[in-house]
A and B are shown apart, each in its own frame.
Chain A
Amino acid sequence: AQTVTQSQPEMSVQEAETVTLSCTYDTSESDYYLFWYKQPPSRQMILVIRQEAYKQQNATENRFSVNFQKAAKSFSLKISDSQLGDAAMYFCAYRSPFQGAQKLVFGQGTRLTINP
């Protein structure tokens, strides 16, 4: 079974600075998908960014980018120019490509605080 580990329960960063959230995972599959979700106090689960394992190029979405290291099974999220609205819980998630395996395996989450 796949596992996802987020080793940083809490992180804080000054507004406008850059922060990196760590995520590692364990799998025997060669093809899979990785996601970062944001959960603000409103409790909504909001997709931030996704990465296909077969793509070597790191995904980027505006101020959000990932550092995907397949051999190391690492998938970190970098947030540039941090804004107060970025404060939230961030979850890393793994998804198997197999038909019917429509499930996400989540990490424990990292609570990100933005200091003004």
Chain B
Amino acid sequence: NAGVTQTPKFQVLKTGQSMTLQCAQDMNHEYMSWYRQDPGMGLRLIHYSVGAGITDQGEVPNGYNVSRSTTEDFPLRLLSAAPSQTSVYFCASSTGQGINQPQHFGDGTRLSIL
């Protein structure tokens, strides 16, 4: 069972570079989300999607773009990387069938911006 797959697992960027963090799930989940995890701050929501073609901002959306062209994929784009975006990024998905259903997390992407 693949579940939620994130690529890459590690990435180092220079300030100003752009990149896309990939997230794919094979559970046919409607809901997908991106979080960032910083020391001492828990996980914070960046963007989320309730279905293909529908996205919305979370708590810390600035500097990030998302799109949801398919149910399976939810990429996160950094347009111009900044050192403040150094973090561990998690993608999560959940089914809309029953709002008590837990979110399934990927293994995370550790991103360093120099």
CB distance A52 to B100 under 8 Å? yes
Considering the chains assembled together, what is the distance between the CA atoms of A17 and B18 in angstroms? 49
CB distance B90 to A45 under 8 Å? yes
| A65 close to chain B: CB less than 8 A | no
CB distance B108 to A103 under 8 Å? no
Interface of chain A: mostly helix, strand, loop or mixed: loop
CB distance A97 to B90 under 8 Å? no
| B50 close to chain A: CB less than 8 A | yes
CB distance A35 to B56 under 8 Å? no
Considering the chains assembled together, what is the distance between the CA atoms of A42 and B9 in angstroms? 12
A44, A50, A97, A107: the one contacting B42 at CB < 8 Å is A107
CB distance B105 to A45 under 8 Å? yes
CB distance A47 to B102 under 8 Å? yes
B31 to A, closest residue via Cβ: A102
Complex interface: chain A residues within 8 A of B88 (CB): 43
Considering the chains assembled together, what is the distance between the CA atoms of A52 and B94 in angstroms? 17
The size bracket of the interface on A is 20 to 34
Q: A102: shortest Cβ distance to chain B, in Å?
A: 4
Complex interface: chain B residues within 8 A of A116 (CB): none
20 A-B pairs in the complex with CB atoms less than 8 angstroms apart: A9-B40, A35-B102, A42-B107, A43-B88, A44-B108, A47-B102, A50-B100, A50-B102, A52-B100, A91-B42, A99-B50, A100-B56, A102-B31, A102-B103, A103-B58, A104-B33, A104-B35, A105-B45, A106-B35, A108-B40
Chain A contacts to B: CB under 8 angstroms: 4, 6, 9, 33, 35, 42-45, 47, 50, 52, 91, 95, 97, 99-100, 102-109
